[in-house]
Chains A and B, each alone.
Chain A
Amino acid sequence: MMHWLNNLSPAWQFVLFSAIKVVAAFAVLMFMVAYVVLVERKVCAFIQDRIGPNRAGPFGLLQPAADAVKAFFKEDFTPAHVRKVFYVLAPAIVMLPGLMNLAVIPFGSRIGNQPMVIADLNVGILYTFGIVSLGVYGIVLAGYAANSKYPFLGGIRSSAQMISYEIAMGLSVIPLFLLVGSLNLSQVIHYQSGGFLNWLVFKQPLAFAIFLAAAFAETNRTPFDLPEAEQELAGGYNVEYSSIKFALFFMGEYANMILASAMMVTLFFGGWTLPIFGLDQPATALWAGLVQIGIFLAKLFCFLVMFIWVRWMWPRFRYDQLMKLSWQRFIPLALANIVVTAFVLWVRS
């Protein structure tokens, strides 16, 4: 096996290992999407003093499988008045950013001599923002395709929210790159190695606060879940959808949540590093490589639990408050943060 691998030309090795990484990362993401839903329901039940799903399998562990089967076998009803092409396309586009951004997230240092990132782009962060900004289309088109009032208003509401918070999010990370001096995500992680105080969350707490709030808004999670707002606004862009198409919107939200958590871990919390036992340097041994992937997943899980916890603890913002927060608080703060950081760097140099 090893002999055969070593005999392959570098180009074919690259193709083979990339394909393996893509399949593995995709499988892990999809597994996490399924089980984050279960964790969400369990945590919610705990907070509301209920038991939560416990019928399918031990501790309800087979619940995601049951949900998936149900989603597939429900009738896929297409209302007569919808615009068909966009109606089918929209749920797919919602899933897209979560899957495509997976490509640039460094989820480990290396195993053997393979770096544990699918594409180590030198404009990594710009790529992620570009792809995230394309995610708006899924929601706009879902609202438009449904061709009725509530989904349309929901789509407009949610895309206005996403565009507003994208700006705050983009501005909030600029000080990070002034410090690091590169847009490459692996470089960002390298900068944060060697001590907890090197983590960018301690160097740029304001940037982290803005990024965190914007991440909640971008993924349409409470306290920014106006797009859904089941109780008072009769739902949003996904009202006319049923069966697996509805499930795709649902899965898209969780995939985006996982990716947002991965971005925060990478940008602010040292990614796969941990400044003890020399785990902040690229691994040389197999076990260290695996431990670093474990560290990354553990940090990711902490963020996911926080996303869920906030959802069941906080009321949602009113729409005008939400807009005001982004345009009149976060964007000026982020701009000030950029100027102050640049000034400090200039004085120091």
Chain B
Amino acid sequence: METLLFYAFAALTVLCALLVVANPFSRNPVTSAMFLVLTIVSMAGLFVLLHAFFLAAVQILVYAGAVMVLFLFVIMLLNLKEEELRKIKRFSLVAGVVCVGAILALFLRSLIQARLSANLPASGAEGSTAALGKLLFTNYLLPFEIVSVLLLVAMVGVILLSKKELK
């Protein structure tokens, strides 16, 4: 049953991700954004199958619920009409295929090297919120704080940019 669900969610993730960048029916950026939301939600499904409930909930809450709504705002307010009409350029097509191919080769290589070794961490406990919180505030405290400072920098930058005149 879990294997079946895994393949269903994995297929959905890949299909939606494809439709984000190469939708044959529509070149509307809003459609792409909505497919990205679906990709994120089906990835949350994969997290659930790994018993990482906290990650799944946060994935939906932060990425699907907050970040993508802001994406949608920006797309709608800019109303990119010419984006819809733009034809695919040959150069960007070739460059894109090369990039994707390189990344794919890297992934495949590491996948083949990794194998499924016996020393996989035992699943179950790592999904619990308390365990995750403990790890974040003990072993990974420094990276956690650095990330929050990074967000603060971004916020200060936005305020600076949106101020009309500097005193």
Contact = CB atoms under 8 A, between A and B. Distances in A.
Contacts of A130: 57-58, 60-61, 64-65
- Counting from the closest, the 3 A-B pairs by CB-CB distance are A133-B65, A126-B57, A130-B60
A122 B128 contact: yes
Interface of A: 83, 85-86, 121-123, 126-127, 129-134, 136-137, 140-141, 144, 152, 156, 159, 163, 166, 183
Nearest to B76: A144
Interface-centre pick from A85, A137, A141 (highest chain B CB count, 10 A): A137
Interface in B46-77: 53-54, 56-58, 60-61, 64-66, 69, 72-73, 76-77
Contacts of A144: 30, 72, 76
Given A123-B53, A123-B129, A134 B73 contact: no
Chain B residues touching A, majority SS: helix
Given A144-B76, A159-B69, A129 B61 contact: yes
A133 B64 contact: yes
Interface of B: 28, 30-31, 34, 37, 53-54, 56-58, 60-61, 64-66, 69, 72-73, 76-77, 128-129
Contact of A140 (B60, B64, B76, B129): B76
A123 B52 CA distance: 10
Contact of B57 (A85, A127, A140): A127
Contacts of B129: 122-123, 183
A134 B128 contact: no
B30 A159 contact: no
A93 to B, nearest CB: 10
A187 to B, nearest CB: 12
B61 A140 contact: no
A12 to B, nearest CB: 13
Contacts of A134: 60, 64-65
Contacts of B60: 130-131, 133-134
Contacts of A127: 57
Contacts of A129: 57, 61, 65
Chain A contact residues: helix, strand, loop or mixed:
helix
A136 B69 contact: yes
Given A122-B128, A163-B66, A137 B37 contact: yes
Contacts of B28: 83
Contacts of A140: 69, 72-73, 76
A163 B128 contact: no
A133 B66 contact: yes
Nearest to B68: A137
Q: Which of A129, A130, A132 has the most CB of B within 10 A?
A: A130
Contacts of A159: 69, 73
A144 B78 CA distance: 12
A172 to B, nearest CB: 15
Contacts of B76: 140, 144, 152, 156
A278 B109 CA distance: 63
25 contacts: A83-B28, A86-B30, A121-B53, A122-B53, A122-B128, A122-B129, A123-B54, A123-B56, A123-B57, A126-B57, A127-B57, A129-B57, A130-B65, A132-B65, A133-B61, A133-B69, A137-B34, A137-B37, A140-B72, A144-B72, A144-B76, A156-B77, A159-B69, A163-B66, A163-B69
Contacts of B56: 123
Contacts of B128: 122
A144 B58 CA distance: 27
Contact of B58 (A126, A132, A136, A163): A126
B115 to A, nearest CB: 32
